[in-house]
C-alpha cells in the first residue's frame, strides 16, 4: 500500500478520505473563501488547500466525480490529471461546466476524486524499423468499431 503524505496549506482544508471500504478514489474538496460560480463552458482552477507527497513508482490521478458529471455536467478538463511523485505544490482541480446553467462551487464541497495508481517509466530504444503486427498502422476505427 503506497503512503501519501498530506500537508494542509490552510486551516479549513479537508484531508481526503475514502468514502467506502471499496472506494478507489479519495474525495478532493474545494478550499475557497466564498462561493465560486462556474458559467456554462467556463473552466476554472479550484484549489484544494493541500499539498501531497506520493511515493516514487506511483502517481495521483485527479478524476471527475460521477455525481457532479451526471447531475450538473461538471467535469475535469484534463481528466485524468496527473500529480507526479515529485510535485510538492498545491493540488488544484481544473473544472469545466458542460451544463446549461451556472454551477455554484461552495467552500468545502467535494469536487473531484484522487486515485493513487502505480506507474512505470519506460526505457525508450531508438530503432530503424518497428516489429510488424496484423494491425500495422491502422488508426482510429481501423478495428471496425
Count Cβ atoms below 10 Å from residue 71 Cβ, excluding itself. 11
> Which of 45, 9, 11, 48 has its CA nearest to residue 26?
48
Walk me through the domains of the chain, giving residue ranges and CATH numbers. Answer: 4-118 (2.70.40.10)
pLDDT (tens digit per residue) in 48-101: 999 999 999 999 999 999 999 999 999 999 999 999 999 999 999 999 999 999
C-alpha cell at 1: 500500500
Mean pLDDT of the chain: 95
Provide the whole-model pTM: 0.88
Count Cβ atoms below 10 Å from residue 39 Cβ, excluding itself. 12
Strand partners, 95: 44, 76
C-alpha cell at 115: 486515485
Q: Helix, strand or coil for residue 100?
A: coil
Amino acid at each position: 500500500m503506497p503512503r501519501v503524505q498530506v500537508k494542509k496549506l490552510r486551516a479549513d482544508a479537508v484531508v481526503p478520505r475514502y468514502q467506502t471500504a471499496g472506494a478507489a478514489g479519495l474525495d478532493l474538496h474545494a478550499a475557497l473563501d466564498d462561493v465560486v460560480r462556474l458559467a456554462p463552458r467556463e473552466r476554472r482552477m479550484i484549489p484544494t488547500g493541500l499539498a501531497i507527497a506520493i511515493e516514487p513508482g506511483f502517481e495521483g490521478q485527479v478524476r471527475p466525480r460521477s455525481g457532479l458529471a451526471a447531475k450538473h455536467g461538471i467535469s475535469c478538463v484534463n481528466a485524468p490529471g496527473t500529480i507526479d511523485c515529485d510535485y510538492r505544490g498545491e493540488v488544484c482541480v481544473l473544472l469545466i461546466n458542460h451544463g446549461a446553467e451556472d454551477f455554484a462551487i461552495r467552500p468545502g464541497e467535494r469536487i473531484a476524486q484522487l486515485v493513487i495508481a502505480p506507474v512505470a517509466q519506460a526505457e525508450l530504444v531508438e530503432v530503424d524499423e518497428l516489429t510488424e503486427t496484423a494491425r500495422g498502422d491502422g488508426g482510429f476505427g481501423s478495428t471496425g468499431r
